[in-house]
Chains A and B, each alone.
Chain A
Amino acid sequence: MVDVPYDAIADIPPAEVAEVELYHPKSWWTQYVFSQDAKVIAIQYSLTASAIGLVALVLSWLMRLQLGFPGTFSFIDANQYLQFITMHGMIMVIYLLTALFLGGFGNYLIPLMVGARDMVFPYVNMLSYWVYLLAVLVLASTFFVPGGPTGAGWTLYPPQAILSGTPGQDWGIILMLVSLILFIIGFTMGGLNYVVTVLQARTRGMTLMRLPLTVWGIFTATVMALLAFPALFVASVMMLFDRVLGTSFFMPALVEMGQQMKYGGGSPILFQHLFWFFGHPEVYIVALPAFGIVSDLISTHARKNIFGYRMMVWAIVGIGALSFVVWAHHMYVSGMHPKFGFFFATTTLIIAIPTAIKVYNWVLTLWRGDIHLTVPMLFALGFIITFVNGGLTGLFLGNVVVDVPLSDTMFVVAHFHMVMGVAPIMVVLGAIYHWYPKVTGRMLDDWLGKFHFWVTFLGAYLIFFPMHYLGLLGIPRRYHDIGEVAFIPPSAHTLNAFITVVALTVGFAQMVFLFNLVWSLFKGRPSGGNPWRATTLEWQTPQTPPGHGNWGKELPVVYRWAYDYSVPGAAQDFIPQNQPRATPGVQGAAP
């Protein structure tokens, strides 16, 4: 049940379904542009997400310049500041992190790790990317339309989002909603692929409880996204109707700048419920792939099996399920019925338990390991620190009454950047250092990597840790300039300036990383097929980078779980998943 017993492995049944012939590219266009190979689609997704992510990074510098030195930069006014924060948030959460983890890592790793030749619906998979690209282009176009992008905040709360007091009311908000709708359509095509591939296309012997945690994380996150994104989809369509057709889904009777509006009867809070029914699972849609990937990074680079694999799997599934009943903790001060607070505070704090189990199991994996302080491992350690920090401050904001003074302050900004900004990005970066050799056949430069890690990790920590205390002091978020307020001491402005300087430094370190990515592509040390001496299937491909179809004539057969590191009595400190057990009993017992 937990594992296929030894006898069953010795006699793995033949595949029940004959292999389907893959579509083979016939020209340069179908090989590199309109490719149906999940690996090419993964790279397309990753490059597009990174490109728009760079735009969001630059926006964050502009925001920080304004916050650190208010009034110094005449080219940033209140409207632009709001447009910057809105686009920064939306791009980072959806168009970068969601797309990168699921479209990028999901596409590359799922077929390789489960031992499939490709995704089960390659053509739909290709369409998924092109619709995603269209969504990104529509989003980026808002920078050039009259009125500019919307400045409603990434939460897009109505009525404000579609009224004239908010920048981007003309075209910005309409195109933002259209872009979100496109993104969800594109994602759904990819998401169905990832789920069906994991469920149906695993190679022989690859039971669910032998999947690497990376696959568990991406799989669970995809299932969640398929259930959560529809709420955002309908909310976007309804708000689009409110804006364009004059319906009143979210619009009550109201007076705008002294003018009676034609709206009436709608509920702004309904939008918030729909938004956060998507928005909270979204946090875990980003976090669960990170949880899975970091588990594999830690295990591989500590040369030790992940501690408590089964508990890790159940924690991922449990967190995924619980995350659908906590959404209104984003709405404690929204004006919803105050009694809801009891329920949502309780569910929110319960989710801390499976999350804590994951943290314990990561650090217990290090215990009595053989820790190689490679760049991926450093990023994994950086992830643990920032995630523990951000997770614990979540216990403040989830505990309803504690949230009352802290909500809408810089404490919230610091918290969510730590927990779903910095921590997942640590994993993304670690994962890039880890899998780059498989994708390109070359290693990234180690010295540049370590420089990149230390500046990014320490810098990000210096940015967001002190920021909590600005929020505790009471400084509200989404203010382009705090102005004259009695309770804010001058030292708070000094701290803001300090944070800005550090943020620019961290930004610079990312340029070093980009240089490393390009430079190593040509000059990097050749990596061979399995430079980290890892067990999972993607490292056992006949070619590196893997060719179309991933495997040679025969699909690999899986005989063991993904974590046979340092098995007592084994010749090496790792045993690949597709290596048969020679003599039972000698090579350890997988759970």
Chain B
Amino acid sequence: MAVALILLLVAVGSVLFHIYSPWWWTPIATNWSYIDHTISITFWITGVVFFAVIAFMAYCVFRFHHKEGRQAAYNPENKKLEWWLSIGTAIGVGAMLAPGLVVWHQFVTVPADATEIEVMGQQWRWSFRLPGKDGRMGTTDVRNVGSDNPLGLNPDDRHGQDDIVIESDDLHLPVGKPVKVLLRSLDVLHDFYVPEFRAKMDMVPGMVTYFWMTPIRTGTFDVLCAELCGAAHAQMRAKVIVEEESDYQAWLAKQKTFAELSGRSAVMKATYKSGGE
């Protein structure tokens, strides 16, 4: 029976494709392997249901396709069967939802020792900010944004003076330390997306969003934008370099603080002004 066979082949083929697919998730680089485990559980449960339903359907087509003299059975309902199927489905759903919610609880509970860093998106580039020596980031306001203050830091906030500002360059992170990634946007929605990190979150102008993670291996990772942000959405790129603490410190020492950057322009402004007078 060709139709039944093709239907069965679709089910078998899907399972085989899944097993042999060369396209699979990227090697994970953070603590979020829990998310991968939840996906695996979901694949197992949904895979079994998918195969069972399609195989049963194929069998019905094979066994009960029209022949001369066949008459269909007349059975409007079967309460018991319907209840058992509902209960079985509820159990399967629970088996996926429960681990999902447990992991989500971890995902939204930021550890107290996480270092805050900031990623800022604008059409169509990334900037980064680190808290500096005092370990605190200064306040910001989009109204402060100007050519000498691209991230809109509050110039009167002393916590912001030592903040390290990284413009048009890559972000470095030390391996093994939890970070809370604060996300801001100056213009439209963006989404800081590194597939190897698994975690991601939209960046929304007018508010600060966040996620947290602990990088677990060193390497260089592509940053992409995962929320449509206009014409050059696909070209909005940067890199994150996860490295050992010593390398990280060496890199950190070379970065400029907000005070240094704005100070430089303040000096220039003063020179311009005095020259004008």
Asked if A583 is at the interface of the complex by the 8 Å CB criterion, the answer is no
Which residue from chain B places its CB closest to the CB of A389 in the assembled complex? B50
Asked if A230 is at the interface of the complex by the 8 Å CB criterion, the answer is no
B104 pairs with A342, CB closer than 8 A = yes
B72 pairs with A304, CB closer than 8 A = yes
With A385-B7, A473-B25: A402-B42 Cβ-Cβ less than 8 Å:
yes
- When distances are taken between beta carbons in the complex, the residues of chain A under 8 Å from B85 are 356-357, 360
Quote the shortest CB–CB distance from A362 to chain B (angstroms): 8
Q: Which positions 350-395 of chain A face chain B at CB distance < 8 Å? A: 350, 352-353, 356-357, 359-361, 363-364, 366-373, 378, 381, 384-385, 388-389, 392-393, 395
Encoded as 1 (CB less than 8 Å from any A CB) or 0, chain B from 56 to 70 comes to: 110011001110001
B224 pairs with A573, CB closer than 8 A = no
Q: Which positions 435-493 of chain A face chain B at CB distance < 8 Å? A: 458, 461, 465-466, 469-470, 472-474, 476, 478-483, 485-487, 489, 491-492
With A366-B60, A385-B54: A159-B205 Cβ-Cβ less than 8 Å:
yes
With A160-B229, A478-B233: A373-B65 Cβ-Cβ less than 8 Å:
yes
- When distances are taken between beta carbons in the complex, the residues of chain B under 8 Å from A550 are none
Tell me, in angstroms, the Cα distance from A252 to B225 when the chains sit together: 21
- When distances are taken between beta carbons in the complex, the residues of chain A under 8 Å from B74 are 304-305, 565-568, 588
A474 pairs with B204, CB closer than 8 A = no
Asked if B246 is at the interface of the complex by the 8 Å CB criterion, the answer is no
- When distances are taken between beta carbons in the complex, the residues of chain B under 8 Å from A26 are none
- When distances are taken between beta carbons in the complex, the residues of chain A under 8 Å from B248 are none
Quote the shortest CB–CB distance from B107 to chain A (angstroms): 6
Asked if A257 is at the interface of the complex by the 8 Å CB criterion, the answer is yes
Which residue from chain B places its CB closest to the CB of A481 in the assembled complex? B234
Quote the shortest CB–CB distance from A147 to chain B (angstroms): 12
Asked if B242 is at the interface of the complex by the 8 Å CB criterion, the answer is no
B3 pairs with A378, CB closer than 8 A = yes
Quote the shortest CB–CB distance from B35 to chain A (angstroms): 6
- When distances are taken between beta carbons in the complex, the residues of chain B under 8 Å from A267 are 206
B49 pairs with A392, CB closer than 8 A = yes
- When distances are taken between beta carbons in the complex, the residues of chain B under 8 Å from A151 are 231
Asked if B259 is at the interface of the complex by the 8 Å CB criterion, the answer is no
Encoded as 1 (CB less than 8 Å from any B CB) or 0, chain A from 237 to 268 comes to: 00000000000000011111110100000111
Quote the shortest CB–CB distance from B169 to chain A (angstroms): 18
- When distances are taken between beta carbons in the complex, the residues of chain B under 8 Å from A78 are 231-234
B61 pairs with A408, CB closer than 8 A = no
With A335-B202, A567-B74: A345-B187 Cβ-Cβ less than 8 Å:
no
B82 pairs with A476, CB closer than 8 A = no
How many contacts A-B (CB < 8 Å)? 326
Asked if B26 is at the interface of the complex by the 8 Å CB criterion, the answer is yes
- When distances are taken between beta carbons in the complex, the residues of chain A under 8 Å from B38 are 399, 401-402
With A255-B186, A392-B49, A404-B200: A333-B191 Cβ-Cβ less than 8 Å:
yes
Tell me, in angstroms, the Cα distance from A392 to B39 when the chains sit together: 12
B231 pairs with A167, CB closer than 8 A = yes
Tell me, in angstroms, the Cα distance from A308 to B229 when the chains sit together: 48
Quote the shortest CB–CB distance from A291 to chain B (angstroms): 16
Which residue from chain A places its CB closest to the CB of B46 in the assembled complex? A392
- When distances are taken between beta carbons in the complex, the residues of chain A under 8 Å from B141 are 253
Which residue from chain B places its CB closest to the CB of A334 in the assembled complex? B202
Encoded as 1 (CB less than 8 Å from any B CB) or 0, chain A from 310 to 322 comes to: 1100000000000
With A255-B145, A404-B35, A480-B234: A357-B191 Cβ-Cβ less than 8 Å:
no
Tell me, in angstroms, the Cα distance from A56 to B39 when the chains sit together: 33
Q: How many residues of chain A have a CB within 8 Å of chain B?
A: 113
B93 pairs with A395, CB closer than 8 A = yes
Encoded as 1 (CB less than 8 Å from any A CB) or 0, chain B from 90 to 109 comes to: 10010011001101110110
Asked if B180 is at the interface of the complex by the 8 Å CB criterion, the answer is no
With A165-B123, A372-B66: A345-B76 Cβ-Cβ less than 8 Å:
no
- When distances are taken between beta carbons in the complex, the residues of chain B under 8 Å from A479 are 233-234
Quote the shortest CB–CB distance from B217 to chain A (angstroms): 14
B206 pairs with A163, CB closer than 8 A = no
Encoded as 1 (CB less than 8 Å from any A CB) or 0, chain B from 8 to 21 comes to: 00110010010001
Q: Which positions 143-195 of chain B face chain A at CB distance < 8 Å? A: 143, 145, 147, 152, 183, 186-189, 191, 193, 195
The residue that A260 contacts in the complex, of B49, B61, B90, B143, with Cβ under 8 A, is: B143
Encoded as 1 (CB less than 8 Å from any B CB) or 0, chain A from 268 to 309 comes to: 110000000000000000000000000000000011110111
By Cβ-Cβ distance, the 7 closest A-B pairs, closest first, are A252-B206, A474-B195, A165-B230, A335-B209, A160-B188, A366-B60, A304-B72
CB<8 Å pairs between A and B, sample of 27: A82-B228, A82-B233, A159-B189, A159-B205, A252-B142, A255-B122, A304-B72, A335-B202, A335-B204, A338-B104, A339-B108, A342-B104, A370-B64, A371-B60, A385-B11, A385-B57, A388-B49, A388-B54, A401-B34, A401-B104, A408-B191, A458-B6, A473-B195, A476-B224, A486-B222, A489-B22, A563-B76
Report A's interface with B, CB cutoff 8 A: 78-79, 82, 151-153, 157, 159-160, 163, 165-167, 252-258, 260, 266-269, 302-305, 307-311, 333-335, 338-339, 341-342, 345-346, 349-350, 352-353, 356-357, 359-361, 363-364, 366-373, 378, 381, 384-385, 388-389, 392-393, 395-396, 399-402, 404-405, 407-409, 458, 461, 465-466, 469-470, 472-474, 476, 478-483, 485-487, 489, 491-492, 495, 563, 565-568, 573, 588, 590-591
